[in-house]
Structure 1
Amino acid sequence: MGSERDGVFIHETAEVSPEAVIGSGTKIWHQAQVMKGASIGENCKIGKGVYIDTGVKIGNDVKIQNYVSVYRGVTVEDEVLLGPHMTFTNDLYPRANNSDFVIYETLIKKGTAIGANATIVCGTTLNEYCMIAAGAVVLSDVPAFALVVGNPGRVTGYVCKCGTKLEIEKLPRQGVNSRKTVCPKCAMAYEFQLGLIPVL
């Protein structure tokens, strides 16, 4: 059972502030908590036990899986996947009694996918369509389309918009720092020039 609020489904066990902004078509499931001043876009799926803090901005078509906490300072753009139990931080110098607490902002750009149990340390930007592997620890900015694995997280390759890993490193160089590849799954073409860009 749950309630409908302007085209939004809210499970009866969820706690959603009336001062949160929730877009049409969004579903908020069991025991989720959405705080005052949070903003969630349209057609989002907010899983069991998710916590969305004051001032957090979530775009459209975002899927936040079970037990993710999205703390103040985090902005999530459209079409992002936050895998189960992944973690954001928002303080570089945490202490139980910290009178000079400073929030460091984190930006998750469009199409990013973050795997289960990954940790995103605050003050970083994850650029468009990058993919963070399960359990990875991200300490610095991530390039668009990059695949990051490990602890500490490191770029080990690049992925297509569809999520398929691209075989860039095996291609011959076509210029000083230019290589091209095509996704083996969806046939989208890319060029690598100090970073991956789609060929339109």
Structure 2
Amino acid sequence: MASYIHPLSDVHAEAIGDLTNIWQFTVVLKDAVIGENCNINCNCFVENDVIIGNNVTIKSGVQIWDGIRIEDDVFIGPNVTFTNDLIPRSKVYDRRIQRTILKKGSSIGANSTIIGGIVIGEKCLVGAGSVLTKSILPYTVWYGNPAVQKGYITDESCLLSLDLIDKQTGDTYYLDGDKPIKHD
């Protein structure tokens, strides 16, 4: 099935998967790669050296700069800010672009800032308004400025405390590698 590209967007990329929607006033440069079944909301910008996986949601007001890799099933909330240059200078073009990776199933809350050169682990949750300055492990929950780990999250999106207890149900979990598993 075809993708939908809003007529008021400016899309130069050809590598766009089926069923992907790109909304008005969004700019996508020619070398960007975008997977299937994505939704890129209005007023976004996607630079050239960008790879976006399948089933990704990017809400309004997000700029995806060179060096950013977004795996499948990622959610990026409105007005999330990414950086890719740790020492930005006007008119200096020999900079080192930082590679930032958002692993499968991670979610970034609205108005968060993501510093370049980090890895956001699988299924992680970064709360709205956070400033994330370092790589984070899979299945962890972070928020604040600077963001600190506040707990864990399960495959079923149950929020757990740092001691792996679901405060709503009282159920206890343990870590199998990085993944929280419910005690029987």
Q: Deviations along 1:22-73, whole A, 9 cap, x unmatched?
A: 0000011111111011000000000011111102000000000001000000
Shift of 1:170: 6.2
Matching residue of 1:176:
none
Q: 1:124, 1:30 → 2: CA distance?
A: 30
Asked if 2 retains the 8 angstrom alpha-carbon contact of 1:51 and 1:69, the reply is yes
Q: Which runs of 4+ in 1 moved over 6 A?
A: none
Shift of 1:95: 1.1
Matched, 1:109 2:92: no
**Which residue identity does 2:43 align to in structure 1?**
G
Matching residue of 1:8:
3
Matching residue of 1:143:
137
Q: TM-score, normalised by structure 2?
A: 0.90
Matched, 1:42 2:24: no
Q: 2:2, 2:167 → 1: CA distance?
A: 40
Q: 1:90, 1:97 → 2: CA distance?
A: 15
Q: 1:97 to 1:156 in 2, by over 3 A?
A: same
**Structure 2 unaligned runs (5+)?**
none
Matching residue of 2:120:
126
Q: Deviations along 1:155-184, whole A, 9 cap, x unmatched?
A: 11111223331145166xxxxxxxxx7995
What fraction of aligned residue pairs are identical, expressed as a percent? 36
**Which residue identity does 2:69 align to in structure 1?**
T
Count residues in correspondence: 181
- Indicate the structure (1 or 2) with the bigger Cα radius of gyration: 1
Q: Deviations along 1:132-170, whole A, 9 cap, x unmatched?
A: 010101110011011111111111111122333114516
Matching residue of 1:175:
none
Q: 1:191, 1:39 → 2: CA distance?
A: 38
Q: 1:111 to 1:182 in 2, by over 3 A?
A: farther
Matching residue of 1:92:
86
**Which residue identity does 1:138 align to in structure 2?**
L
**Which residue identity does 1:154 align to in structure 2?**
V
Q: 2:66, 2:75 → 1: CA distance?
A: 18
Q: TM-score, normalised by structure 1?
A: 0.83
**Which residue identity does 2:10 align to in structure 1?**
E
Which residue, 1, 13, 19 being the options, matches 1:25? 19
**Which residue identity does 1:123 align to in structure 2?**
G
Q: 1:16, 1:32 → 2: CA distance?
A: 8
Matching residue of 1:197:
179
Q: 2:18, 2:69 → 1: CA distance?
A: 19
Pairwise CA RMSD: 2.2
Q: 1:156 to 1:30 in 2, by over 3 A?
A: same
